Amino acid sequence: MCPAKIADGGERGFVIPIGGAEERIDDPVILQRFVELCGGSDANIVIIPTASQLEETGPNYEVVFAELGVANAVSLPITTREDAQREDYVEELAKATGIFITGGNQLRLSTILGGTPVAQSIRKLNAAGVHVAGTSAGAAIMPEHMIAGGASGSLPNEQGVIFAPGLGLLSKVILDQHFSQRNRLGRLLSAVSYNPFASGLGICEDTAAFIGPDNVLEVVGSGNVTVVDPSDLQHSSMAEARSQESITLIGLKLHMLSSGARYCLNTREASPE
């Protein structure tokens, strides 16, 4: 699923994948930045807690956003595909200046939301200028191709990653979350080596990539975003690799970006600020 079409003269909203475990109390720089983008005290934030099976997840984020000064933050308790077709939920989304997708299980997100009016609305609203942030599973589902699973470890191999269709807010990246904390470099390398058309983003916990309408991302938070750039890839042995066999990748670029650093998804150029 590709990103929704942007109207002539329009500009899509920010897409903000967060690596999970974002700070919510002491120094919530990521969520504060998201709130400011969405209008500050005038923001209208809709929370999608579908990935989580904990009933308190949505209400907890309502409190977090209220403490950040948001006048209106509402959680939509979407737990079934029937819920994701409710007209009142679609109408609530239409009022949003920002949409926040919580963590949990990304396959729960994709199987409940995929192809529904709620999913279609999120894509169309982002194309119309509404900002969409997601943490952990909520980040994983953002690209066209979603990493649904795979083994931890630093080495890529033939069975290193499992894909599923994502929400389609991003078409030029493949991303993974909880990146350094769960040692996921190998599966991101595996993902990129299958078809090196897209940059790979590995996002640490309490770290976000604020991807603007110009497709330039800025890193915000306490950790790093690891960028795997396959634009100069000279050789991949993925097609010949046997089950569980390590693979050869020659010519990859690797960038380690901390807070304030930038990367352009169009030109694949990184800069320290």
Residues noted as catalytic: 136, 178, 205
- CA dist., res. 245 & res. 241, Å (int): 6
Nearest 5°: phi and psi at 226? -90, 125
Quick check: 229 and 271 in contact, CB under 8 A?
A: no
Quick check: 254 and 263 in contact, CB under 8 A?
A: no
Residue with tokens 């991101």: 188
- The encoded tokens of residue 90 equal 């679609």
Q: Sheet harboring 98-101: ordered strands across?
A: 72-75, 44-48, 98-101, 131-135, 15-18, 207-211, 216-221, 262-264, 270-271
CA distances from 39 to 25, 44, 72, 103 (A): 20, 8, 11, 23
Closest CA to 15 of 195, 237, 218, 152: 218
Quick check: 141 and 167 in contact, CB under 8 A?
A: yes
The alpha helices in 68-210, defined as continuous H runs, are 87-94, 106-113, 117-127, 137-140, 185-194
Quick check: 3 and 170 in contact, CB under 8 A?
A: yes
